[in-house]
Amino acid sequence: MKTTRVVMKIALAKQSENTGHRRMNVSNSPIRILLLCSLFFCCCCSQGDGDVISVHPRGSFLRWGGSENALEPLIVDLSLLSTPVFDGDTIRIDRLGDWASSQTNQDQSLFMIGCFSASDVLLSGHLINRIQDAIEAGPDVVTPNTANGNLATDFPEDFLISNGDGSISGLNIEVPTGANYLFVAVSDIYFFDNHDPDGDFAVSINSIPEPTTPIMVIAAVLPFVWFGRRRRRATCR
Ligand SMILES: [Ca+2]
Ligand SMILES: [Ca+2]
């Protein structure tokens, strides 16, 4: 009886050794290369070429207070991006860098807001709805009243790109129906004293293409299926 147990232990030890050896073979096989290629392929499909565009912190599409005379905001023609995007496409928008909200404040403000529009028409700074053809999209943002005159600035179509503490610094967003332009600016109560000493304040816009054919999906998934089967076989042996 004792001899039988010893023989069984030796047999189990050998089986375990063999299984480990097969696993080692699997991990060292060309499958690893295929997996890496697959991951690289997925990463390539997840984002297209991007654009980084400087944003002047004195630019605004919000209403001005008094005779402030803020600069025009950044107005991006979506068809002129390095990868042109159109309504229904999903894009990634990120705030880069920071700005100073007055001559004495440090270069660390992070607020950035955006608004889609059918046209690039920007109306007078004395109006609350300055973007003539604004289109609703994204997470709503409530903008503060002006420092001069305590005038309301909030309008419904704009959205938050980056908040003040940096916990939100960008978003994926679908370009809404009819949108041809993206307005980008800071959110502030007084714009004329804003500046960017190191010139790093910018917006990054990336298109996020979907895999367009079933072949692309199969090509991405196949190595994982193959690897799973090989691994199950190695475990069963
Ligand atoms: Ca800066
Ligand atoms: Ca300011």
DSSP letter string, 140-152: B-PPPPPTTTT--
The closest ligand to the CA of 106 turns out to be 1
14 CA from centroid of ligand 1 (Å): 64
CA 193 – ligand 2 centroid, Å: 5
The burial of 33, by beta-carbon neighbours within 10 Å (0-12 exposed, 13-18 middle, 19 or more buried), is given as: exposed
The rounded Å distance from CA 187 to ligand 2 centre is 9
Reported as a single tens digit per residue, the pLDDT across 92-117 is: 999 999 999 999 999 999 999 999 99
Ligand 1 centroid to Cα of residue 74, in Å, is 16
Query: Measured in angstroms, how far is the CA atom of residue 146 from the centroid of ligand 2?
Result: 10
Q: What per-residue confidence (pLDDT) applies to 66?
A: 80
For the segment 138-162, the average pLDDT, to the nearest whole number, is 97
Distance in angstroms (rounded) separating the CA atoms of residues 185 and 62 = 9
**Strand partners of residue 147:** none
CB 202 within 8 A of CB 73: no
**Helix runs in 28-106, H state only:** 30-46
Ligand lying nearest the CA atom of residue 147:
2
What angle do helix axes 214-236 and 2-27 make, rounded to 10 degrees?
160
23 CB-contact burial (10 Å; exposed 0-12 / middle 13-18 / buried 19+): middle
Q: Are strands 181-185 and 74-77 parallel, antiparallel or unpaired?
A: antiparallel
Residue with tokens 């499958």: 31
**What are the tens digits of pLDDT across the range 14-36?**
444 444 444 444 445 555 655 55
pTM of the model: 0.72
